[in-house]
Amino acid sequence: MSVLKSQRPLPLVLSFVLLLMLAVPSGFGSAYPSHPPQSAARGKILSIAAGSDHSLALKADGTVVVWGRNNHGQLNMPSGLGGVKSIAAGTFHSLALKSDGTVVAWGENARGQTDVPAGLDGVVAIAAGGYHSLALKADGTVVAWGNNTYGQSNVPAGLEGVVAIAAGGYHSMALKADGTVVAWGKNMYHESEVPLGLDGVVAISAGLDHSLALKADGTVVAWGQLTGVQFEAPGDDHLSGLTVQEGDLDPAFSAGVTDYSTYVAASVNSVHVTATLADADSAELYVDGKPHASGTVAEVSTPGASTEIRIRVEPYLKPGRTYKITVQKDDAPPNVLFDPNGQAAPAQTESTVTVTDAESGVDAASLWYAWTQSTAVPASGWTSCANGATLKQTSGDGNWYLHIRAQDQVGNVTDAVSNAFVLDNTAPVLALNGGNPIHIPQGGTYTEPGATVTDALDGVIPPSNIAISGALTRAALAITRSNIRSRTARGIPPR
């Protein structure tokens, strides 16, 4: 089963024109005239019908014009036929419904398709199948005659309340007043197997091996043989492209995805949307409820913090599809996290910086940093960095501050500054006690006098942080000392 949709205005009385190409003779299109005779051009034509090799036209004066092949008597219309209000054509036969409710038939009769039942009257509609005929009476009942190989002329018992009929190659259909459909006859391709729950139907049509139903909502339901092109109605309910000039779509556009969002700056009062139809010849496009040409820019107002824009694709013969873009205004700058955020104790230091933005996202190319000894935003000295980078300050002492500048995708900028990092990047000053070398009296004992170490931030370094190592060199009753080292509380070696 397939569902199609028509967007064209529906008349109160709608009918399908059915061309049954059941048999194509040799020489078709050349040996027999396909153009109507001049008599058809004189006077207004109300309706037309086409059989396999012949054509009919009903004129406003109630007469009928026929042309085409006549190998089965298709053109042998009864002389003086008039007062006709509708016509129908089967494979090789024709039907005419007169204004008095009677039916006239002519053409091939090998299967009784032109044997109108005696006394048939009160007819309000006719239909011609491949080799059988149908008549709908004013009382809502159906009469059938002609070929019955597949039971196409066996009207279901008790069928009533019918308002329209259709005849296919070897099956028949009836539309009831309650909007339901009844079908009978050949079912080799499920052409007589009405879809379960089908209702709300306003018109029907029967093909060789498939069936159609037009619903009140404009959709068309099809069933029966799936081979060939009978279900390939023109039109595509997809877009092939969708963009918003002011921001990127999330997720990235894909024809099968219908729900998107985008962020714009808070100052933006309208956005420019470009929607492109996958099949612009067989569908209409609506942007924000207004008809719009495919592939052109539509300006849509965005007055609030969040605006929902709907883009509707309306194929002429298929159900439509709605795409949605939620435009949200982003007035919040990115958030910056320092780890650690400052260091109170003097130390050599570093901080890992992470920048996040919950709305439009961080612009990765906008990240910069600077170390200064002031909380004021620096005017210069910025260096680019990556999100998540570990940033170090390897020179200078005292209070230092890490500054981060970042921007989101819509241009909101943040200038963040860390708490103070107390830096100690200067080595302590070491002074040896007792001089170097030290002269020892003959026979005397050497005692290490130690050293005094002073740091600009820590002051005098305690002896526990001073390490003495290495060898003593004796020369002329003198000892030269080496490898006396100290460390501050931060582990910075002396100069």
Q: Write down the residue that tokens 């509609």 correspond to.
A: 125
| Domain range enclosing 303 | 239-330
Cβ contact 114:126 at 8 Å:
no
Q: In angstroms, rounded to a whole number, what is the distance separating the alpha carbons of residues 91 and 133? A: 11
Q: Which amino acid is at 244?
A: V
The number of domains in the chain is: 4
Q: Which amino acid is at 97?
A: L
Q: In angstroms, rounded to a whole number, what is the distance separating the alpha carbons of residues 353 and 392? A: 11
Q: Is residue 215 part of a domain?
A: yes
Looking at the structure, tell me whether residues 371 and 252 fall in a common domain.
Answer: no
Q: In angstroms, rounded to a whole number, what is the distance separating the alpha carbons of residues 196 and 213? A: 13
Q: Write down the residue that tokens 């996958």 correspond to.
A: 278
- Give pLDDT, residue 2: 44
Strand pairing of 259-265 and 321-330?
A: parallel
For the sheet with 451-455, list strands across it: 429-432, 451-455, 459-460
Looking at the structure, tell me whether residues 265 and 396 fall in a common domain.
Answer: no
Q: What is the pLDDT along the chain (495 residues), one digit of tens a residue?
A: 444 444 333 333 333 333 333 333 323 222 344 556 655 545 689 999 999 999 999 999 999 999 999 999 999 999 999 999 999 999 999 999 999 999 999 999 999 999 999 999 999 999 999 999 999 999 999 999 999 999 999 999 999 999 999 999 999 999 999 999 999 999 999 999 999 999 999 999 999 999 999 998 887 888 998 655 545 566 789 999 999 999 999 999 999 999 999 999 999 999 999 999 999 988 999 999 999 999 999 999 999 999 999 999 998 877 899 999 999 999 999 999 999 999 988 887 899 999 999 999 999 999 999 999 999 999 999 999 999 999 999 888 889 999 999 999 999 999 999 999 998 877 778 777 777 777 777 777 777 777 788 876 677 888 877 776 656 666 555 555 555 555 544 444 544
Asked which of 224, 247, 266 is the last residue of a domain, the reply is 224
- Give pLDDT, residue 25: 32
Looking at the structure, tell me whether residues 84 and 163 fall in a common domain.
Answer: yes
- Residue 459 falls in which region: left (phi positive, over 0), alpha (psi -120 to 50) or beta: left
Cβ contact 333:412 at 8 Å:
yes
Q: In angstroms, rounded to a whole number, what is the distance separating the alpha carbons of residues 15 and 202? A: 9
Cβ contact 185:173 at 8 Å:
no
Non-local CB neighbours of 435 within 8 Å, separated by 6+ positions = none
- Give pLDDT, residue 15: 35
Looking at the structure, tell me whether residues 124 and 32 fall in a common domain.
Answer: yes
Burial 432-454 (b: 16+ CB within 10 A, else e): eeeeebbeeeeeeeeeeeebebe
- Give pLDDT, residue 472: 60
Looking at the structure, tell me whether residues 160 and 260 fall in a common domain.
Answer: no
- Give pLDDT, residue 328: 96
Q: Which amino acid is at 75?
A: L
